[in-house]
Structure formats: structure tokens, C-alpha cells
Amino acid sequence: MSPSTDLLAFRRTLATGTAARFFLVLAAMAGTAIYVFPLGNPTLGAALFAAAALVYFYLSWKSIAVSRDAMPAHEHLARGNLPEAEQLLTTALRKFSLFPSQRAVELLQLAQLRFEQSRYIESADLANAVLSLRSPAPILASAQLVRLEAVTELLDLPRVHAGLLALAKLPLSHADSARLMYCRTLYEVALSAHDHTLYLLPGKLQLAQALSGPRYARWCLELARSALAAGRHELFDHLVARAVAVGDSANLARKVPDLADAVDKAALHPEFGRI
Amino acid sequence: MMMLIVVSSAIFAGLLFTGTEVEPARSIQRAMALLVPLGVLVFSIFWSAQQSAELRDEDRRVSALEDAARLQRFDWLTHALTDALSRPMRSPLHRVRALQVYVTTLVGVGRFDDAERSAAAMLGEGVPLGMVTSLRALRVYAMLREDRLVDADRALGELRRQDRDIDISGHAPAMVALAAMYRDAVTGHCDDALRSFEKNRPAIAKQLGLRVADADALAAHSALTLGQSSRAAHLWRRATLFASPAELVHRFPPLSTTSAALAPASVPPELATGGAR
């Protein structure tokens, strides 16, 4: 599969940034050498060093400005304004940066955005690109989580298994632990391990409070599927009611077609219509 | 640091070429010209690594505080925050995050006046854009709990203006909508509260997840006040799927009448214990 245009754009900025850094360091070293050692005119050496330093500071300032311009994307993503977030992030990714590897945050946000747009293959690819960069541990953990969520949606079970094992070793925040549990539930349901899914359910429900609305709704529906398989009908009805109360019922019915009838029944109130 | 290395190199290079003519002294100067910048470089690498490790530790400690706030472990937080905030922090952002947890904890333990003043002080000092909305919303909530309705109304207006200023289109943020609903429910503008609920419920569910129960509960209260008892019962049942009536009344005291009048959602026996809501 060919890489996405986002990924190609990022690779291009990564290459140009690396080349720019290499030539600037080379110029600074040459300037220092000419100045320190008797290789020529010390004034020329100092001028070369100063020019390299000036260009370096200018390009650093421009690179920081690119990241600063993309900062509202986080707020847009949190509010579900996906087109605005996409415009900011894709624009940032196509601009020159002296430190593209430090723009892992924007790349990660774009991976999250593609996930929200149900473009799971691209999301996994972008998360992989973040993992290939030298980034702080929390960003790498987030990237692993985004990749895990994407491959979970694709039901690529071997990669889900590997992702679950990798993330089990990392210290995660409460919200990230909830997302990990979400992936694990989908994995267990895909393997029909319904007893595992319903095990310690009260504790899982408490942890799931950190999930976003759409994820919580989908998670409840997967649990409901397990409850149905285990013949626990009261629990099934309760979980479907929870899912419908938090999520968009039309979207849920589309994502989980085998439970669409139950979702429609729970969402259709005799007096107030569709809720 | 890079500049320090370059400057020290230049100083010692200067010494090298302008110094003494005696051969042993020249050798020492030449060695120093190479060793001192190298020493500065090695020191800077170790120093940076140590600084990064300390920053990571601090980030972990602040994340633990934030997790505890999400889990509403306010008893633990009152001690942990005293410890965390009584020492200097390396990163100003970490301090601001810890202070935001402090404001949340003050709200959680019912010290609304302190919470409001702390939030106002933080906003006055300047906080990152991502925190402004939640801090302002917390401040509005604290004012409403203190019955400072005029101040709360003004603060809500500021919150809406700020939302326009940072050029975020689409829905008003869920927290703003929730705060406005609470204000309308408290002041008896139940029609407005229900209108706001109808308009913003999908956004609240999407952005705040299970806190949509708060919106459902406030809407149930408004519907009951307007005499729409069937609708109120339905909304209250939906709200109590996620939060117990006692918890909802603790968050919004005016809901005590609603809680007494309406039946909560039934909970399956396997979820009845352990506070699974």
C-alpha cells in the first residue's frame, strides 16, 4: 500500500530539515576551524560562523512559528471540529521545519484526526511515523495507543495482540488506561472471549468513565454483545441503554450492524421519538 | 550552551595565539584550548540529561494528580497538593496543571469561594489556551454554587466572548453549555435551559462523555419545573444510568426536589455493588 500524502509530505520536510541542519552545522564548524586554527583569514571564519548562527536562529524561529500556528488544532480536535483541525495540521506538515522530529505532536494529532475520520490505515501509518521519531516517552506511548486503536478498528488481531502486550508494560494515565481497556474489550469480543469481557465489570465501568462519548457508547455495545452471548438479558438492555444515551444511535447502528435492531429499539422512545 | 562552548573555544584559541613564546606554556595552552570546550560539552550533555529526567518525574507526579482529580479522590489530593505545591517546580506548565487540579479539588470539597478566587488569580496570571475554558467554566460553577448569580452571568459572558476570540467555530464548548444550563435552571429560566439542552446535548455527549448525565439531570429538573413530568421522568432515568441521584444532588443541590419526585434507572444486580455508575 502506498503511503498517504500526509506521510509523504512529512517525510519531505523531515529530509529537508535534516539536510538544512547538516549544512548549518558544517558551516559553523568550518567557520570555527578557520577562526581557531591558522587555516586562513580569521575574519572570514568568524563571518561564516555568524552567518550560520543567524540562519539557524531565523529557521528555528520560523519552525517554532509553524508549530505555534498549529496549536489550536488540539482544541478543534477536542471539540470535534475535524475540518478545521485537518486544515491546520496538514498545512503545518507541509511547511519547512528545522526540527521536523520535534513536530511529533502535530503528527500524532493528525493520526488521531484520521482515526476520528475512520481512516484507520492512514492513522496507523502516521502513528508508526511518530514512533520512528525521537520523542518523549508520553508521546511515544500515545502514538502506540493511537496505532493500537487503529488496528483494533481494522480487526488486525495479531497486531492488536502485539500492541496490547507492548502497552501493558508502559505507565499510562487513567484516560489512556481506559482507551487500552476499550481496545482489549474489542479484541476479546472478536475472539468470543465473553467471560473475559464481563469479568470485573463494575471496575471496568468505573475506568470507562474516562472514555470519550463515542468510544464509551461503542464499548458498551461490545459489552452488550458479550452479555447477550452469556444470556444476561437484563444486563444487555442496560448496556444498550447506556450506549444510546451517550452515543449517536444512527452511527452506532452503522458500526455494529448486528445490534442495530436493539439500538433502534432503545433509541426510539414511544413518546419523544428518536433520542 | 552551544554559545558557551564556542566562546570558551575562542578564548582559549586567543590565548593560544597571543600567549607566551615559551614552548611548555604553549603546549599547556594548546591542551587547555582543546580540553576546556570538550569538558563544557560533556558537562552540558550530562546536565541536560539530568534536567530531562527531573522534568519527566515532575510530569509523572502532575499526571498522577490529574488522574486522582478525575477519580474524585479529593481526600488524597488535599495532602498530595500541599506537598506538590509547597515546593518549586521546574516547569511553569506543570505548576499551572497542578494549580488547575487544586481548583478542581477546592470545588470537589465544597470550598467554592476559594475555588473561584484561585481560578480568577490563575486566569489573571495567564494560563495556556487549552486550560482557559475549563478554568472559566469551573469559576462560573463555583459562583453559581455561592449564589453569586450576577457575577456568574458576567463570567459566562466572558467565557462566550473568549470562545469567539480564539476563533473556534461550530458548537459552543460543552462546558459553556453546561454552565449556562445550570445558570438557567438555578434562575428559573427552565425554557431556556431545555432549549440549550436540545441544541447542545450531542456536543456535550461527544466532548464530555458521561458528564452528559449532568445535562440530562438539569434538563429533567427544568422539565419537572415546567410540569412536563413524563419527559422529566425519562430524562432523569437516563441521567441516573451514569450517576447516582445522591451524586447528582451533590453536584447540583437544586436537583434534590427532582431526586425526591422521580425514580432513578434500575441497575442490574451485577452492577448494583461497587459503585459501577
* pLDDT at residue B186 in the model: 87
* pLDDT at residue A267 in the model: 79
Residues B212, A213: C-beta atoms closer than 8 Å:
yes
Using CB atoms, which residue from A75, A214, A232 is nearest to B129? A75
Answer yes or no: do B145 and B203 share one domain: no
Tell me the pLDDT tens digit for each residue of B30-62: 667 667 777 887 888 889 888 888 888 898 899
What band does B126 get if pLDDT is binned at 50, 70 and 90?
A: confident
* CATH code of the domain covering residue B92: 1.25.40
Residues A235, B167: C-beta atoms closer than 8 Å:
no
Answer yes or no: do B152 and B230 share one domain: no
Residues B171, A84: C-beta atoms closer than 8 Å:
no
Assigned domain for B95 exists: yes
Residue B4 touches partner A, C-beta closer than 8 Å: no
What band does B1 get if pLDDT is binned at 50, 70 and 90?
A: low
Please state the domain count of chain B.
2
Optimal mutation site among A176, A246, A268, A269, interface B, most CBs of chain B within 10 A: A246
The alpha-carbon gap from A1 to the nearest alpha carbon of chain B, in Å, equals 33
Q: Chain-wide mean pLDDT for chain A?
A: 88
Answer yes or no: do B84 and B151 share one domain: yes
Residues B268, A174: C-beta atoms closer than 8 Å:
no
Assigned domain for B197 exists: yes
* pLDDT at residue A36 in the model: 72
Rounded Cα gap, residues B119 and B123, in angstroms: 6
The alpha-carbon gap from B226 to the nearest alpha carbon of chain A, in Å, equals 16
* pLDDT at residue B170 in the model: 45
Answer yes or no: do B158 and B211 share one domain: no
Answer yes or no: do B151 and B214 share one domain: no
DSSP, residue by residue, A32-100: HHHHHTTSS-HHHHHHHHHHHHHHHHHHHHHHHHHHHHTTHHHHHHHHT-HHHHHHHHHHHHHS--S-G
| Max Cα-Cα span within chain B | 104
Task: Report, as an integer, the average pLDDT of B125-149.
Answer: 86
Residue A173 touches partner B, C-beta closer than 8 Å: yes
Last residue of one domain, picked from the residues B170, B185, B206 = B170
Residue B127 pLDDT greater than 90, yes or no = no
Answer yes or no: do B153 and B197 share one domain: no
Assigned domain for B45 exists: no
Task: Report, as an integer, the average pLDDT of B1-12.
Answer: 59
Assigned domain for B186 exists: no
Residue B164 touches partner A, C-beta closer than 8 Å: no
* pLDDT at residue A39 in the model: 65
Residue B2: count of CB within 10 angstroms of its CB: 12
Q: Which domain holds residue B163?
A: 73-170
Using CB atoms, which residue from B59, B70, B166 is nearest to A210? B70
Answer yes or no: do B198 and B242 share one domain: yes
Answer yes or no: do B248 and B205 share one domain: yes
Return the HEC string of B128-183.
Answer: CHHHHHHHHHHHHHHHHHCCCHHHHHHHHHHHHHHHHHCCCCCCCCHHHHHHHHHH
Residues A136, B60: C-beta atoms closer than 8 Å:
no
* pLDDT at residue B73 in the model: 87
Chain A segment 14-43 residues within 8 A of B by beta carbon are 32, 35-36, 38
Pick the residue with more confidence: B273 or A139?
Answer: A139
Optimal mutation site among A67, A79, A201, interface B, most CBs of chain B within 10 A: A79
Rounded Cα gap, residues A5 and A13, in angstroms: 12
Rounded Cα gap, residues B243 and B213, in angstroms: 7
* pLDDT at residue B197 in the model: 92
Residue B260 pLDDT greater than 90, yes or no = yes
Residue A182 touches partner B, C-beta closer than 8 Å: no
* pLDDT at residue A258 in the model: 87
Answer yes or no: do B197 and B153 share one domain: no
Lowest-pLDDT choice from A179-193, B122-136, B213-227: B122-136
ipTM: 0.73
Name A274's bridge partners.
A268
Answer yes or no: do B159 and B232 share one domain: no
Rounded Cα gap, residues A207 and B61, in angstroms: 20
* pLDDT at residue B169 in the model: 42
Task: Report, as an integer, the average pLDDT of A66-80.
Answer: 83
Using CB atoms, which residue from B70, B169, B209 is nearest to A212? B209
Answer yes or no: do B201 and B256 share one domain: yes
Residues A201, B67: C-beta atoms closer than 8 Å:
no
Answer yes or no: do B164 and B210 share one domain: no
> For the whole model, what pTM was predicted?
0.79
Rounded Cα gap, residues B101 and B116, in angstroms: 13
Assigned domain for B66 exists: no
Q: What amino acid is encoded at A146 in this protein?
A: V
- Residue A87: name the closest of A61, A108, A65, A69 by CA: A69
Residue B63 touches partner A, C-beta closer than 8 Å: yes
| Percent residues over pLDDT 70 in chain A | 95
Rounded Cα gap, residues A239 and A245, in angstroms: 10
Task: Report, as an integer, the average pLDDT of B208-217.
Answer: 90
* pLDDT at residue A71 in the model: 83
Pick the residue with more confidence: B76 or A271?
Answer: B76
Q: What are phi and psi of A268, to 5 degrees?
A: -95, 105
Assigned domain for B35 exists: no
Using CB atoms, which residue from A214, A271, A272 is nearest to B206? A214
Assigned domain for B182 exists: no
Q: Give the pairing type, strands A273-274 and A268-269.
A: antiparallel
Instruction: Write the CB contacts of B170 (distance below 8 Å, at least 6 apart in sequence).
Output: A79, A80, A81, A84
Alpha-helical runs (H) found in A191-212: 194-198, 201-207
Q: Is the separation of the CB atoms in B270 and A203 below 8 Å?
A: no
In Å, how far are A64, B51, B81 from B91, measured between CA atoms?
A: 19, 11, 16
Q: Which residue of B has its CA nearest to A248?
A: B202
The alpha-carbon gap from B156 to the nearest alpha carbon of chain A, in Å, equals 18
The alpha-carbon gap from A247 to the nearest alpha carbon of chain B, in Å, equals 7
Assigned domain for B140 exists: yes
Residue B166 pLDDT greater than 60, yes or no = no
Last residue of one domain, picked from the residues B113, B137, B170 = B170
Task: Report, as an integer, the average pLDDT of B195-199.
Answer: 91
What band does B275 get if pLDDT is binned at 50, 70 and 90?
A: very low
Rounded Cα gap, residues A79 and B207, in angstroms: 6
Residue B71 touches partner A, C-beta closer than 8 Å: yes
Task: Report, as an integer, the average pLDDT of B186-212.
Answer: 89
Q: Chain-wide mean pLDDT for chain B?
A: 83
Tell me the pLDDT tens digit for each residue of B77-88: 999 999 999 989
The alpha-carbon gap from A242 to the nearest alpha carbon of chain B, in Å, equals 7
Lowest-pLDDT choice from A35-39, A142-146, B103-107, B236-240: A35-39
Instruction: Write the CB contacts of B138 (distance below 8 Å, at least 6 apart in sequence).
Output: B103, B104, B107, B115, B119
Q: Which long-range contacts (CB under 8 A, 24 or more apart) does B108-114 make?
A: B108/B69, B108/B72, B108/B74, B108/B77, B109/B74, B109/B78, B112/B142, B112/B143, B112/B145, B112/B146, B113/B142, B113/B146
Tell me the pLDDT tens digit for each residue of A169-179: 888 888 899 99
